[in-house]
Amino acid sequence: MSGASGPHAAGRKDGLRTDVQALRAIAVTLVLVFHLWPSSITGGYVGVDVFFVISGFLITSHLLGRRPRTGRDLADFWARRIRRLLPASLTVLVATLAATRLLAPETRWGATADQAQAAALYYVNWLLASSSVDYLAADDAPSAVQHFWSLSVEEQFYVGWPILVLVLGLLGTVGALRRHSRAVLGAGLVLVALASFAWSVYYTAADPARAYFVTTTRVWELAAGGILAFGVTGARWRAPRAGSALAVLGLLLIVVAAVRYDEGTAFPGTAAALPVLGAVLVIAGQTAPSSGVGRVLAVRPVQWLGDVSYAVYLWHWPIIVLLGEVSGRLGVLDSIAVLASTLVLAALTKKYVEDPFRGGRWSVRLRDTYVLGASGMAVVVALTLLQGAELDRRQARAQEQLAQATDDPCFGAASLAPGAACEPPTGAPVPAPATAAEDRSEAYEEVGGRDCWASRPDFDDVRCSFGPADADVRVVLTGNSHAGHWLPALQVLAQSRGWRIDTYLASQCALSQVPQRFDTDAHSRACQDWVRRTTATIAQEAPDLVVTSNRISVSAVGVAPQDNGAAYRSGYEAVLREWSEAGLAVLALHDTPAPGDGGLHSVPDCVAEHLDDLEACSAPRSEWEPDDVVVDAVAAIGDPRVRSADLNDLICGPQRCEGVVGGAVVYFDGSHLTATYARTLAPFLAPVVDDLLPEPRAGRAVG
């Protein structure tokens, strides 16, 4: 995305290369079309990879033309990058924060502020990588600043690459290496590129979600442009037709990747080599504006789009996201409006923000550059902190409202109890939508201070304990995230009775001895191994009661879709039979309704947007409630101490499921119960648990 000017070959009057500017235009067009009409160019995301090659080429060309030899040289280089990149990016971040506050529901403010802060400090790609494997975050709406991940990769490259060139240059002055200083530089650049490419191939196969965002898997793409700059320094094609042929071939490779790739392509890895090679060939061709291909690339609209491509990339995604908040699903006219407004804002940004900061009187003063850059970043960070402070105040008020609501005998699940005569609640739902999105059980690190989940890539064994270590009764809660959301209900019982609860939980991996299809075979095997180990560990430790529940969110490996349920049922039977043979008491809870199955991926978002019409956050029960084959598996075991229970009548009405029940927000996303609602289910879970625990351990009922 860097807009730095390049070598003067095949150039315009202002010194920019027409072929490179055209390549920028092509790259940003691919990204735009992919985001506006994703089904038309399913691999349009490769436009980012084309940008990476361009940036690596131009930056390395500058470094080779003005070789850094001292720390001052590095400071000058970084100052030029600050003047070129920060004014526009910080302007867009400030505008996006303000627009999000005005247009988006409060459930989006926190995530947008966190990512905007990370974007201003250029580490948002690592933040996104850390959350990319979070199953609970899978359905989260993308923030309006998520696209800054690629800019973060570039900025990190701009920090490290000049240092590498400086070090290699100094190394080339030592002893016998002086005779081969250019070879030392070239070899160093190539080694870094090869190491990054090898890591990208490995990490994309091992952990593709994280691999997409991290800098280490992308450096080779920028380095490819850098190596090209090193190889062609001072060189020009003497055969224009050969150069044009290279450019055409390169463009074809980019188009093939854009058309053939899709969201299922393992990326970056080896797949990124196609658009990267295409971009390298286009630049290597050095097509002159007078050649046949060059004349096409040099037409004024293409050059103009290349000139404003950085600003186009910055503006297009916030407009897409925020217009979607206002109008819902983007239609054809909405997409055209996004395109038009993006181009207008890009033109204005180029003229009134980018150009003045590159040529202002202060732009040559090193201290002014760093002071203004740091000040701009501080402004964005301050705005994000203010947004966080407001959310904290709202959360404090929400906690007060929640404390008052829990005294109501018709709050939450109690309003659906048989014989309940409850009036519809009149106050605002609790917890408040922004708080509801974080209203999770203590099994989550951000709530309980510890991460109690086995997760990809390795599904390592993780056990958390709640309650006294010397308790007479030990209850084990196990399964995937749809077991984890029952922890608050069990804690209500455990705290009044002195039980200890141990959890063996996994993210997405169901506790069923069946191969489950994850994004890599290694992840599938790791899940299957976790199931075997956990089943055996629980059987060996012999707790007083095992409570389990699971959501089937991935298909079984090697079976037809119509046989998926039977495969999972067989896997459940294997787990339950092992526990039955160990003499354990087991309670298998029927899986809970999931709004996401009906297309409602965030109940808190829906509630925030429809406080005056909560019926919009409901659906027929048949759309949300899953069939759960664990019931059949329990019946097949035929052991009176292995039972199933269905509490879904306390989550949904006879005909419809609601996002808010008895004044309580039921879900913190599109699938998982809020901790608040789960606690309201405790009195109804108590008799089922008591019936399985031997006397006198069961203690008194809760209600």
The domain limits of the chain are 18-387, 437-591+626-646, 595-625+648-690
Look up residue 107 and give its two tokens.
């459930």
Strand partners for 479: 505, 549
The residue to which tokens 């590129």 are assigned: 193
Q: For residue 233, what pLDDT band results from cuts at 50, 70 and 90?
A: low
pLDDT greater than 90 at residue 427: no
Strand partners for 502: 465, 476
Q: How large is the average pLDDT for residues 26-32? A: 97
Q: How large is the average pLDDT for residues 456-474? A: 91
* pLDDT number for residue 197: 98
Q: Which fold has domain 437-591+626-646?
A: Rossmann fold (3.40.50)
pLDDT greater than 80 at residue 364: no
Q: How large is the average pLDDT for residues 374-399? A: 89
Nearest 5°: phi and psi at 444? Answer: -95, 140
* pLDDT number for residue 139: 54
DSSP 3-state assignment of 279?
helix
pTM: 0.85
* pLDDT number for residue 697: 45
Look up residue 387 and give its two tokens.
């947004």
Look up residue 236 and give its two tokens.
């020009």
Q: How large is the average pLDDT for residues 105-112? A: 89
Q: What are the helix (H) ranges across 510-560? A: 521-541
Look up residue 253 and give its two tokens.
């490779």
